[in-house]
Structure 1
Amino acid sequence: MGMLDSVATRVAAGATVRFRPTGNSMAPLIRSRDLVTVAPVDPAAVQAGDIVLVRVAGAVYLHLVSAVDATGGRVQISNNRGRVNGWTGHARVFGICTEVEGAARPRLDGKLRCQP
């Protein structure tokens, strides 16, 4: 189980988690080792351009929502370099990035899942 799997488990259970992901696929939105905050999300509320913590084809990513299929209850996930990771169902969308290095992400109203 990798670090993002562990974070996904905690966020799916209702926790807001701060961590430092590695990699450059989301630069310049998120640079390697930037401190990010991810909170539980209502998957039906996410929009293209949101950064979500999600499982696609068995791997967990902190990537962009590049398209939404509301009727099918799924989202398309891509990195910030144009690579599409694939489609995944709402049940595999665990959280939304709310902050990067202390700067709030836009368009969060109505998207956060209520804490238990």
Structure 2
Amino acid sequence: MHRLRDNDTLMTPLQRIREDPDGVRAMLAARGFDAPVDRILELDAKARQLRAQKEQLHAERNKASKGGPPTDAVKARMREVGEKIKEIDAELGALEAERDEKALWIPNVIDPRVPKGKDE
């Protein structure tokens, strides 16, 4: 976890990128770093979208399981839902792994009171 502002709010690098991408870009520029902020945001948005789809499919499956004895159509649909969840899990794992790896490129936050310069 890293400090974001003087208010002692602790955030992960990913949270920081989500909430203040322009601030992260400015901080990176001030430190002479080049990190793929836009790609991280793109991967994060896609991962969040897939997670929402997965939650909807789980809700559908849970609702169907509480509906009494399933018909053949319901059984077939639940097999489809299960396969779709597996597909989403595979895609989500790859997206999150790439996103998290790229988020590691973001250095610690600089205190705004630190003078700008190339030397220590």
Same-fold status (TM-score > 0.5): no
* TM-score of the superposed pair, with normalisation by structure 1: 0.21
Question: Higher Cα Rg: structure 1 or 2?
Answer: 2
Higher relative contact order (CA 8 A, sep 6+): 2
Structure with the higher fraction of residues in helix conformation: 2
Structure with the higher fraction of residues in strand conformation: 1
